[in-house]
């Protein structure tokens, strides 16, 4: 074994021993996450207006998660459409529609 290998191993042990008592904590996420307005939730039909293409999407909300929204997929017995999530940071306006019966 070379001397440099022994020195490297000892320096790793000393560094590890020095860091044992160090606490690690995550930074707080202070970025403002866009939220849906009050009164809009899962099962509601909405128009989402975007600043870029597509300009508008009409959908029924299936799930809300940390600034993202997933619309219900159209029911097709032969093909399963992919799940589409939209980032609320790109939404300019939200319009609530009446529920379909």
| Average pLDDT, 10 consecutive residues per value, the chain (101 residues) | 84 83 64 64 88 83 85 77 82 81 58
E strands of 8-90, at which residues?
A: 45-50, 56-65, 68-71, 85-87
pLDDT at residue 1 in the model: 58
Block residue for tokens 């609530």: 96
Q: What was the pLDDT predicted at 27?
A: 64
3-state secondary structure of 55: coil
Give pTM, 2 decimals. 0.55
**Sequence ranges of the domains in the chain:** 45-97
What's the DSSP call for residue 61?
E
């Amino acid at each position: 074994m070379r001397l440099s290998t022994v020195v490297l191993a000892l320096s790793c042990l000393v560094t590890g021993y020095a860091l044992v008592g160090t606490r690690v904590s995550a930074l707080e996420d202070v970025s403002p996450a866009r939220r849906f307005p009050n009164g809009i939730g899962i099962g509601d039909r909405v128009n989402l207006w975007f600043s870029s293409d597509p300009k508008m999407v009409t959908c029924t909300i299936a799930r809300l998660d940390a600034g993202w929204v997933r619309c219900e997929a159209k029911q097709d017995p032969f093909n399963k459409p992919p799940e589409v999530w939209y980032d609320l940071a790109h939404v300019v306006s939200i319009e609530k529609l009446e529920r379909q019966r």
